[in-house]
Amino acid sequence: MPIQSSGLTLPIPELSARLLEKHEVVPRSRVIAQMMFELLSGCAVNVYKTSTLPEGEAWLLLASAGEVSVPETTFPLETGTLGILANAMKPLRFEGKTLVLEEYAHLHVRRTLRCLSYLPLLVDNALIGAIEILSFDETMNLAHLESLQTVAGIAAAALHGGRVYEEERQNTLTSITRLTQLYDIEKVFSSTLEMDQLFPIIGSKVKEMLECEAVNVWLLEPDESLRLMHQSGIDATVTERSLQRPGDGVAGDLSDNGEPVLIQEADDPRLLRRNQAVSENEAVLSLIAAPILDQEALVGVIEAANPSDYEPFDEDDLFTLTRLAESASIALHNASLLAAERKVEVLETLVHVSHEITSTLNLERMLQTIVNAPQAVIPYERAAIALELNGKYKLSAVTGSVRVDTESPEMAPLSRVLEWALLSGGSVHVRQYQDEIDAPREETRAKFKEYFDKTGMRGFYAVPLTDDTGRVGILGMESPDPDFLTPAHLEILQVLTGQATVALRNAQMYKEVPFISVLEPVLEKKRKFMAMEKHRRTLIIAGVVAVAAFLAVFPWPLRIDGDAVVAPAHSAQIQSAVEGVVTKVAVHEGEHVSQDQEIAELGDWNAQADLAQARSKFQTALLQMNHALATNDGTEAGVQRVQADFWNSEVAKDQELVDKTHLRSPISGVVATPHVETMVGRRLQHGDTLAEVIDTSQAIIDVAIDNTDAGLLRTGAHASVKLNSFPVRTFRGEVIVVSPKAALEGDARIFYARVAIPNPDGSIRAGMEGRAKVRVGWYPAGYALFRGPLLWLYSKAWTWFGV
C-alpha cells in the first residue's frame, strides 16, 4: 500500500517491486528517477553515484527524468551544490533566488529554477550517490524533503545491491576471461620450442593478460644468479642481460626462498631501493613476482610491474601470474628438451668430424673435412683454412672448392683478409648491421667495409690454429647473416679448432718426415759394424753376450717407487662426560701424556655434595637397621635394609659422577691443542672437547704406486722413505696395507701402499711429502732394470697379435 507522509503518497511497494525487477545500477537508477519524477509534479530528477577515477573522486550521472540535461556526465566530487552535499551528507534544499549560476553549472535548464533539493544515498554512513530534484513550479518544503528520505534509503540499498551484482558479474566474467586466456596462452606457449622465440612470447602474453606496463622474465644461471633474458614493456629499474643474486632485488630474493611476491605500496623498502636510480615517472609503484618451477626446482622468475589502471596488484593478479608461470615452466621445459636434443646432435656431429680428421694423415682430405663437415651444425656460408709453414702463408681449403686459386676474383679477397687475421694474432669477429661495422678499431671497420661490399657477406669469424710449437694456420667462417654464430656455436668451434690443430700438425709432420729416414741410421750402423776387423767384432759380440747373460741371470732387487705423503696421525678427543666448569688443567701443548693420565678437572662441588649426602643417608639407614635388629623389630629392619640398598646405589652413582669430573687421556701421545691451559674457568657441556691427544709413536706413510706396478705390492714388504723435510735421512718401515681400490689422480689410476714407520721422537708429522721405494723381491737384472720398456713392448705385441 502507498505510504502517506507530509502530504505525499509514497509508492514504496511499487518502487520496491520495480527495483527488484532490475539487477544493474543504471536500470535501477532510471526507475528511481522516473518514480521521483512521477511523484513530484513540476520537477526534474537526476540520479548520481560516486566513483573513483585516476584523477580523483567524482560524480557520475546515472539517470535523468524531466526537463533537464547534464552536459558533462562526470565531474569532480566537490563541484558546486553537489560538493556541499558530499561534505554535509544530509538532505539539502537551495532556494532558486539565492542560488548563483556557478553553483549549479553542471546543469543545463531552460526554465526558471525555483528550488534545488538533494537527497544523499548512504550505505553504512558512506556516501554512494545522490538524488537531485529541480523544482520549477513551486518550492519544495522541508517536510516533503524529509519524507522522501524513505525513498532515498530504498534507492541507496537498490543501487548498492546493483553495484555488488555488477562487481560479482564482472569478477565472474574476469575469471572466465582469464581462464580462457590461460588456455589460449598455454597453446601459444606450446606453439614454439625455440628458446629465443619463447621468451618474447611469454613476456608479451603475460603483459597483455595482467594489463601492466612491463614484464621481466629472469632465468637461473649455473652460479645460482638470475639473468634478465627478456623485458616486455618499459621498466627502467632493470635492463636486459643484467644479473641479480639473493639480496640484490626482488627476483634475487625470490630465487633464494621460492615464495611469490606481492608489493602493493609504493613506499615498500624493496621498491624504494629498486627505484633509487630512476626518476619518479619511471619508478615501479606496484610489483608482483612468481617463481618458474620445473619439478619443484627453480628455473626462473617472472615479474610484472605497474598495472595500467593505476590500481595496485591484488591477490587475484598474483594468482594469475603464478598460473602463467606454471604454463611458462612447461613451455621452457619442452624448449630445454629440444635444446638438449640439438646439443646431442651437435655433439654427435662434432664426434663425427673429430673422427674424420683424426682417422687419417692425408692432409688434403683432412682440410676438406674441416671446412665442409661442420656446416651440418654451424650455419656458415663459407669456411676456409690457411696454413702457415716455415713462415709462408697459403690458402689451402675453401668450402665447396676442390682446388683453390688464390688469384681468382672470388678467392683473392678471402685470402687477403685471412692473411690479415692470421697476422693479427688473435680471434677476429666482425659483423655488419645495415651500414654499421661492429668492430673496435677504425682500421678493421674500413677493411671489412670494403670486404663485405665485395662479397655480400655480413658476418666474419676467424680463429688461429696454434699449439705449443707455434702457429699451424687459421680457420675462417663467414655468412650473409651477421648473427650466424651463437655462443653455443663458438663453444663448438673452440673444441673443433683444438682438434683440427693437433690433426693438422700430425699430418704435416707425417708428410715432412718419410719413414725411410728412420731406417737409414740403422742401416748405416750395420755397414760400419760389418766393416770392422774380425777380432774386434768378436769382442763386441762377446761383450753383448756377457751383458745379455748378466741381464738374464743375475738377480737384482726390484723396487717400485712413488710419491709419499705422511697420513694424519692417530688422535683422540678428550671430551667431558658431564657438565661443569674447568677448575684445573694439568698439561700444556706439546707435553707427552700416558694413557689414563689426568688431563684436567671439572668443578665437582655439586657431585661431592650429592655423594656426601648419599653416604650420610646410607650410614643413617644402616644404623637404623641395626637398631631395629637389636630391638627385634623385623619389619622396621626390613624397611631400613631397603633404604640402605637404595642409598648404597646412590653412593655408587654419585661416585661415578665425581670420577667423571676428572678428564683423562684415552691414549698415550702428545697434547696437540694450543693454549689448553687457558680452558680454566670455561664451562663444558656434555660432549664438549677439551683437548686433543695425538699418538706420534708411529707414522703412516701413503705411497702412491702406479697402476702398472700395483700387482707387485704385498703386505710386509720393506720400504724406504725420503721426506723433503729431512733430505739427509732415510726412514725405513714395512707395508701394512695395500689399498683394495684404485684412486684417480689426473689421468692415471694409482694404488696406495701404507707404510708404518717408527716415530719415537715425533719428528715425522702429518702432511710431510717425499718419495718412497718399496722392495718387492729379487728378479733378473734385465727385468728389474728394463721392466718399463719390456712391459710397453709386451703390451704393444699383445695389442697386435694377442687373443
Q: Which three cell numbers stand for residue 548?
A: 745379455
Q: Which amino acid, one-letter code, is at 98?
A: T
- At residue 5, the pLDDT reads 44
Given a cut of 50, whether residue 3 has pLDDT beyond it is no
pLDDT digits over 655-698, tens only? 777 777 777 877 777 777 787 777 777 877 777 777 777 777 77
Is residue 405 a contact partner of residue 399, using CB atoms and an 8 Å limit? no
Considering the chain, what percentage of its residues have pLDDT values greater than 70? 91
Measure the CA–CA gap between 583 and 596, rounded to whole angstroms. 19
Among 115-119, 225-229, 624-628, 768-772, which stretch is predicted with the lowest mean pLDDT? 624-628
pLDDT digits over 275-302, tens only? 888 888 888 889 999 998 887 788 889 9
Given a cut of 70, whether residue 620 has pLDDT beyond it is yes
- At residue 304, the pLDDT reads 92
Q: Which residue pairs, CB below 8 angstroms and at least 24 apart, start in 622-629?
A: none
Q: Tell me the domains of the chain and their CATH numbers.
A: 3-169 (3.30.450.40), 190-341 (3.30.450.40), 360-512 (3.30.450.40), 696-801 (2.40.30.170)
Chain centroid offset of residue 744 CA: 30
Considering the chain, what percentage of its residues have pLDDT values greater than 90? 3
- Average pLDDT across the chain, whole number: 80
Kind and range of the H or E element at 433? strand 428-433
Q: Which three cell numbers stand for residue 699?
A: 707414522
Is the alpha carbon torsion for 131, 135, 141, 143 positive or negative? negative
Measure the CA–CA gap between 295 and 683, rounded to whole angstroms. 48
pLDDT digits over 149-183, tens only? 888 888 888 888 888 888 888 877 777 766 666 66
Average pLDDT of span 713-718: 81
Contacts of 645 (CB under 8 A, 6+ apart): none
pLDDT digits over 599-618, tens only? 787 776 666 677 677 777 77
Among 79-88, 355-364, 486-495, 538-547, which stretch is predicted with the lowest mean pLDDT? 355-364
CA distances from 582 to 95, 445, 692 (A): 97, 78, 16
pLDDT range class, residue 227, cuts 50, 70, 90: confident
- CA torsion 208-209-215-216 (nearest 10°) is -120
Given a cut of 70, whether residue 189 has pLDDT beyond it is no
Is residue 156 a contact partner of residue 129, using CB atoms and an 8 Å limit? yes
Given a cut of 70, whether residue 569 has pLDDT beyond it is no
Given a cut of 50, whether residue 4 has pLDDT beyond it is no
pLDDT digits over 413-434, tens only? 888 888 888 888 788 888 888 8
- At residue 287, the pLDDT reads 92
DSSP state, residue 163: H
Chain centroid offset of residue 230 CA: 18
pTM assigned to the model: 0.39
As a residue count, the chain comes to 803
Measure the CA–CA gap between 559 and 720, rounded to whole angstroms. 10
Among 255-259, 297-301, 501-505, 709-713, which stretch is predicted with the lowest mean pLDDT? 709-713
DSSP state, residue 404: -
CA distances from 792 to 433, 710, 786, 788 (A): 59, 16, 10, 6
Q: Which amino acid, one-letter code, is at 27?
A: P
Q: Which amino acid, one-letter code, is at 140?
A: M
